[in-house]
Chains A and B, each alone.
Chain A
Amino acid sequence: MAAPTVNVSMDPTTYSPGEPMLLTVNYADPDNQRLTVTVTVADARGNRSAPVSVTAVIDPLTVTVADDSGRTWSRVSDNGAVAVFRAVA
Chain B
Amino acid sequence: MPRVTVTVRDSTSGAATASVAYTVLPRVLGGYYLSGGADPTADMAGGNFRSLTQYRSFADAYIFPGYQRPWLITLGRSGVQLNMVLELKHYGAPDTGPQTFTVDGVRYTVPAPAMTIQQRPGTVWPKAYGYGQVIAGQCDGLFARALSQYLTMGFGVNIQLASELDTDHEFGTTEAGKAYTWAESDARAVRAVTYIIDWFTAKGLPQGSSFSVGLGGFDRACFRRTHPETLMDRLDFLQWNVYATSASHTALERFRRTKDWAVADLGPVALSRPVLIAEWGVRVAEIPDQAAWIATVPPAIAWLNAERGPLIARTNYFNSGWGTLRPKATGLAALRSAYARPPYS
**Which B-chain residue is minimally distant from A29 (CB atoms)?**
B10
Instruction: Report the Cα distance A60→B27, complex, angstroms.
Output: 42
Residue of A5, A17, A68 near B2 (CB, 8 A) is A68
Contacts of B14 in A (CB 8 A): 1-4, 29
The number of chain A residues with a CB under 8 A from chain B is 40
Interface string of A17-37 (1 = CB under 8 A from B): 111010101010101100000
Interface string of A48-89 (1 = CB under 8 A from B): 000000000001111111111101010000000000000101
The reply to whether the CB of B23 lies closer than 8 angstroms to some CB of chain A is yes
- CB <8 Å contact, B10 and A59: yes
- CB <8 Å contact, B302 and A19: yes
Instruction: Report the Cα distance A19→B10, complex, angstroms.
Output: 33
- CB <8 Å contact, A8 and B306: no
Interface string of B273-304 (1 = CB under 8 A from A): 00000000000000000000000000001100
- CB <8 Å contact, A4 and B20: no
Instruction: Report the Cα distance A65→B2, complex, angstroms.
Output: 13
Interface string of B14-32 (1 = CB under 8 A from A): 1111111111111110000
Instruction: Report the Cα distance A65→B20, complex, angstroms.
Output: 11
Instruction: Report the Cα distance A25→B17, complex, angstroms.
Output: 11
The reply to whether the CB of A16 lies closer than 8 angstroms to some CB of chain B is yes
Instruction: Report the Cα distance A23→B6, complex, angstroms.
Output: 10
Contacts of A71 in B (CB 8 A): 2, 4
- CB <8 Å contact, B12 and A64: no
Residue of B4, B7, B9, B23 near A15 (CB, 8 A) is B23
Residue of A1, A13, A65, A66 near B21 (CB, 8 A) is A13
Instruction: Report the Cα distance A36→B302, complex, angstroms.
Output: 48
Instruction: Report the Cα distance A18→B22, complex, angstroms.
Output: 14
Give the A-B contact count at a CB cut-off of 8 A.
126
Instruction: Report the Cα distance A70→B311, complex, angstroms.
Output: 25
- CB <8 Å contact, B24 and A89: yes
Question: Given A1-B10, A13-B22, A15-B306, are A6 and B16 also a contact pair (CB < 8 Å)?
Answer: yes
Question: Given A14-B22, A18-B341, are A60 and B10 also a contact pair (CB < 8 Å)?
Answer: yes
Contacts of A15 in B (CB 8 A): 22-25, 306
Of A6, A60, A87, chain B has the most CB atoms within 10 Å of the CB of A6
The reply to whether the CB of B111 lies closer than 8 angstroms to some CB of chain A is no
Question: Given A3-B14, A17-B343, A19-B342, are A66 and B20 also a contact pair (CB < 8 Å)?
Answer: no
- CB <8 Å contact, A17 and B8: no
Question: Given A16-B343, A18-B343, A19-B302, are A59 and B12 also a contact pair (CB < 8 Å)?
Answer: yes
Instruction: Report the Cα distance A19→B344, complex, angstroms.
Output: 11
Instruction: Report the Cα distance A66→B6, complex, angstroms.
Output: 6
- CB <8 Å contact, B19 and A17: no
Contacts of A4 in B (CB 8 A): 8-10, 14-16
**Which A-chain residue is minimally distant from B26 (CB atoms)?**
A17
Contacts of B301 in A (CB 8 A): 16
- CB <8 Å contact, B22 and A21: yes
The reply to whether the CB of A46 lies closer than 8 angstroms to some CB of chain B is no
Determine how close the nearest CB of chain A comes to the CB of B1; give it in whole angstroms.
9
The reply to whether the CB of B194 lies closer than 8 angstroms to some CB of chain A is no
Determine how close the nearest CB of chain B comes to the CB of A5; give it in whole angstroms.
5
Q: Apart from A4-B16, A69-B2, list 14 A-B contacts with CB within 8 A.
A: A6-B8, A10-B20, A10-B22, A12-B306, A14-B306, A16-B25, A16-B302, A18-B341, A19-B343, A27-B6, A29-B14, A32-B10, A59-B12, A61-B8
List, sorted by A's number, 21 A–B pairs whose CB atoms are closer than 8 Å. A3-B15, A4-B15, A4-B16, A7-B18, A8-B18, A13-B22, A14-B22, A14-B305, A15-B22, A15-B306, A16-B343, A17-B24, A17-B25, A23-B6, A59-B11, A64-B6, A64-B9, A67-B3, A68-B2, A69-B24, A87-B4
The list of the 7 closest CB pairs from A to B, nearest first, reads A18-B342, A16-B343, A69-B2, A16-B302, A3-B14, A6-B8, A14-B23
